[in-house]
């Protein structure tokens, strides 16, 4: 039965409505529950090999020339490990959102997008533990509502498919840090930068590595059933 239990680790990037950044992303890395311990250990080993403490948190925002090889190694580990999968939903232009037209708040739309990101992964015959990175003091309330949305949409009223959605701190789980890097890269590739801001050459190199390893531009939707690196570029209905 253990092989039928899937752990999903989820994060969000640039999700605030008026943060001055055009793109937003929701992403998840998932694997069988029985593989989690081994994967977390491998990530720790990659950190230590690069002179970084296993307890140090690696994040997309921390990428720079000094520890660049660490991030290269982590990206390659993801693609070399058949047990790991990634799904991302990108909203390329938040300014196009018209919540009033659809009689919804930004929060209500946010839950819809989260379910849109997750539902492609959910499959019959499996059970899912979903872990969401804690962002603020409202995280517990938000994940409770997200669990309700997911179960109601799937008629999973007894929570047999989506067993739980639980907030966790990203620095406590190594796989969650992998989500942050992959999600950060895809969101970054869909951002518009001013001449003053410009792109980071180090981050651009990581983005290019992911493009090369995935075979995707990161700016287009992949096939729905793409299992290793699944991308949805979401645009509002006209």
* Confidence band of 95 (pLDDT split at 50, 70, 90): low
Tokens of 60: 């997309």
Q: Which residue has the higher pLDDT, 71 or 94?
A: 71
Pair 46, 39: CB distance under 8 Å: no
Among the listed residues 234, 175, 188, the one whose alpha carbon sits nearest the alpha carbon of residue 10 = 175
Give pLDDT tens digits for 127-163: 999 999 866 556 677 788 888 888 888 878 888 889 9
Average pLDDT over residues 10-39: 83
* Confidence band of 105 (pLDDT split at 50, 70, 90): confident
- Helix axis angle, 68-80 to 201-214, nearest 10°: 10
* Domains of the chain as residue ranges with CATH: 2-233 (3.30.420.10)
Average pLDDT over residues 75-94: 94
| Cβ neighbours for 47, distance < 8 A, ≥ 6 positions apart | 53, 54, 56, 58, 70
Q: What is the mean pLDDT of the chain?
A: 87
* Confidence band of 100 (pLDDT split at 50, 70, 90): low
For residues 130 and 212, give the distance between their C-alpha atoms in angstroms, rounded to a whole number.
29
Q: Where is mean pLDDT largest: 3-17, 73-87, 164-178?
A: 73-87
pLDDT at 238: 46
For residues 120 and 102, give the distance between their C-alpha atoms in angstroms, rounded to a whole number.
23
pTM of the model: 0.90
Residue 186, pLDDT above cutoff 90? yes
* Confidence band of 181 (pLDDT split at 50, 70, 90): very high
Give pLDDT tens digits for 224-233: 989 999 999 9
């Amino acid at each position: 039965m253990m092989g039928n239990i899937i752990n999903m680790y989820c994060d969000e990037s640039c999700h605030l409505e008026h943060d001055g950044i055009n793109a937003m992303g929701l992403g998840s890395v998932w694997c069988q529950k029985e593989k989690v311990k081994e994967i977390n250990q491998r990530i720790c080993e990659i950190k230590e090999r690069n002179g970084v403490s296993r307890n140090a948190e690696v994040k997309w925002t921390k990428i720079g020339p000094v520890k660049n090889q660490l991030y290269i190694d982590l990206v390659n580990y993801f693609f070399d490990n058949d047990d790991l999968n990634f799904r991302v939903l990108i909203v390329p232009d938040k300014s196009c959102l018209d919540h009033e037209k659809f009689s919804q708040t930004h929060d209500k739309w946010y839950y819809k997008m989260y379910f849109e990101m997750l539902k492609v992964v959910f499959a019959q015959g499996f059970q899912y533990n979903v872990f969401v990175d804690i962002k603020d003091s409202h995280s517990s309330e938000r994940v409770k509502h997200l669990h309700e949305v997911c179960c109601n949409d799937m008629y999973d009223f007894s929570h047999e498919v989506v067993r739980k959605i639980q907030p966790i701190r990203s620095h406590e789980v190594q796989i969650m840090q992998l989500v942050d890097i992959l999600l950060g890269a895809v969101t970054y590739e869909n951002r518009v930068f001013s001449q003053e801001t410009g792109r980071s050459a180090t981050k651009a190199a990581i983005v290019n590595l992911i493009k090369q390893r995935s075979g995707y531009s990161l700016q287009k939707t992949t096939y729905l059933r793409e299992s290793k690196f699944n991308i949805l570029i979401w645009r509002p209905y006209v």
